[in-house]
Chain A
Amino acid sequence: MTSQPTAMARILSLALTAFIMMIAAVSFPFLTLDAGGLHNATSVIDAVLAFNDGLAIPLAVAVAFFIMVIPLIRLAALIYALGPLVREAPARPGARKAFGLAERLRPWSMAEIFIVGVTVALIKVAGLAAVTIGPAFWAFAGVVIITVLKDQLICRYSIWEALDQSAG
């Protein structure tokens, strides 16, 4: 078994990596479509804005939260809560609240589901036009894999205990 600070350091580094890749995934072009001389580049934000008319606007907000905002909040909260524990320093104020929030938001973070949805969409348009996969697609796929690895490493009871001992 790895010692606790080592495990914490791994979780923290994975969370930082995922956070940075997520920002790349949001800002670079995600997919590009070419058909009959017309060209359309799409970013993750465009996918959110697809629901931009009338009744669907709340859905745009919800999708934005599910695939970008909530994953980023979870990562940020985790980095905030675990950062000092790696250095074996006392926990930051509100570290427990932050970790509790990251745990509670877990079911609502749907980045991995989004990637499967993208795959399905790719197959649906494959016959219609030429689709080019942009750098953001790979960044997003990376975020998903790293998030899975990170969640595998997290033992929430030992983190609660560590937060307890560092008396934040």
Chain B
Amino acid sequence: MQVFDLGSTGPISGLITAREAGLVACQRCGQVHKRDAVYCKRCEGALQSRDTESLQKVWAWLIAGMIAYIPANVYPMLLTSTLVERSESTIIGGVWELIHHGSIGIAIIVFVASVMIPMGKFVAIIYLAVTVQQRSGAHQHGRHKAYEIVEFIGRWSMIDVFVVAILSALVQLNTIATINPGIAAVSFALSVIFTMLSAQSFDARLIWDADRTAG
């Protein structure tokens, strides 16, 4: 068997991938196997040296997530009715209301979680997928970090859905005031779930395949 000098800290091009070494690592438990292994003998998960359909899945989930994000912003998130008025508020409307209440900090949390994180995720996933498709070798470390951030932060968008759930459960005072969830809550939750699945389908190892023969 060949022996590789894994200790050398040369330029990135000097790195050896498991694939080149004729090995495949389990993504779940880290166990290393011979290239032709199909199942991990430790955790019984499926092994794949590279997920060849990764980008297809990423694009499919991403597009679904972006489509679901449109009604999430157009339709109301909350339906509020009090003695004197009935009102509907969208995501952005809710943020405005918080600013008028003077809760700037909370307004920022909601804005970041429901607008900046989803938008940032769409842009980041598109960037990652396009650069992998172009076999770009630039900023590999940066792109890998970007991927990790996207995977870590995506779930926090769910805040607004939980806010709606708690508000509509709590504020049920017959005629005085009631709050009910709007249809946007459903499409927003779907959008978050779809983009989480999109990020999970991305095979980060593809980032490092730029100048290699991937397949």
Write the nearest CB–CB distance from B116 to chain A, whole angstroms.
15
Known: A42-B166, A107-B200. A117 touches B160 (CB 8 A): yes
CB-based nearest B residue for A109: B155
A3 interfacial contact with B, CB 8 Å? no
**Residues of A at under 8 Å CB distance from B?**
31, 33, 35-36, 38, 40, 42, 46-51, 53, 55-56, 58-59, 62-63, 66-67, 96-97, 99-100, 103-104, 107-108, 110, 113-114, 116-121, 123-125, 127-129, 131, 156-157, 160, 163-164
Residues of A contacting B180 in the complex (Cβ-Cβ under 8 angstroms): 50, 53
B151 interfacial contact with A, CB 8 Å? yes
Question: A117 touching B161 by the CB < 8 A rule?
Answer: yes
Write the nearest CB–CB distance from A76 to chain B, whole angstroms.
18
Question: A120 touching B186 by the CB < 8 A rule?
Answer: no
Question: B43 touching A96 by the CB < 8 A rule?
Answer: yes
In the assembly, what is the distance between CA of A120 and CA of B45, in Å?
A: 39
Known: A107-B196, A123-B103. A62 touches B151 (CB 8 A): no
CB-based nearest B residue for A114: B162
* 8 further contact pairs, Cβ within 8 A, besides A33-B171, A163-B42: A35-B173, A47-B165, A50-B164, A50-B169, A59-B185, A113-B158, A119-B106, A129-B177
Residues of A contacting B183 in the complex (Cβ-Cβ under 8 angstroms): 55-56
Question: B176 touching A117 by the CB < 8 A rule?
Answer: no
Question: B109 touching A56 by the CB < 8 A rule?
Answer: no
CB-based nearest B residue for A159: B29
Residues of B contacting A110 in the complex (Cβ-Cβ under 8 angstroms): 155, 158, 162
Known: A156-B29, A160-B43. A67 touches B162 (CB 8 A): yes
Q: Which of A108, A116, A129 contacts B109 (CB 8 A)?
A: A116
Write the nearest CB–CB distance from A112 to chain B, whole angstroms.
9
Q: Which of A35, A113, A120 contacts B156 (CB 8 A)?
A: A113
**Residues of B at under 8 Å CB distance from A?**
28-31, 42-45, 97-98, 101, 103, 106, 109-110, 151, 154-156, 158-174, 176-177, 180-181, 183, 185-186, 189, 193, 196, 200
Known: A33-B173, A113-B155. A124 touches B44 (CB 8 A): no
The B interface, classified by DSSP as helix, strand, loop or mixed, is helix
In the assembly, what is the distance between CA of A102 and CA of B128, in Å?
A: 28
Question: A51 touching B171 by the CB < 8 A rule?
Answer: no
In the assembly, what is the distance between CA of A35 and CA of B171, in Å?
A: 10
In the assembly, what is the distance between CA of A141 and CA of B103, in Å?
A: 22
Question: A35 touching B45 by the CB < 8 A rule?
Answer: no
In the assembly, what is the distance between CA of A50 and CA of B176, in Å?
A: 18
Question: B170 touching A121 by the CB < 8 A rule?
Answer: yes
Question: A121 touching B42 by the CB < 8 A rule?
Answer: no
In the assembly, what is the distance between CA of A114 and CA of B171, in Å?
A: 17
Residues of A contacting B158 in the complex (Cβ-Cβ under 8 angstroms): 66, 110, 113, 117
Write the nearest CB–CB distance from A54 to chain B, whole angstroms.
9
In the assembly, what is the distance between CA of A98 and CA of B27, in Å?
A: 16
Task: Pick 21 A–B contacts, CB within 8 A, sort by A.
Answer: A35-B176, A40-B171, A40-B172, A51-B168, A51-B185, A59-B189, A62-B189, A100-B28, A107-B155, A110-B158, A110-B162, A117-B160, A118-B166, A121-B170, A123-B106, A124-B101, A124-B167, A125-B170, A127-B101, A129-B171, A160-B42
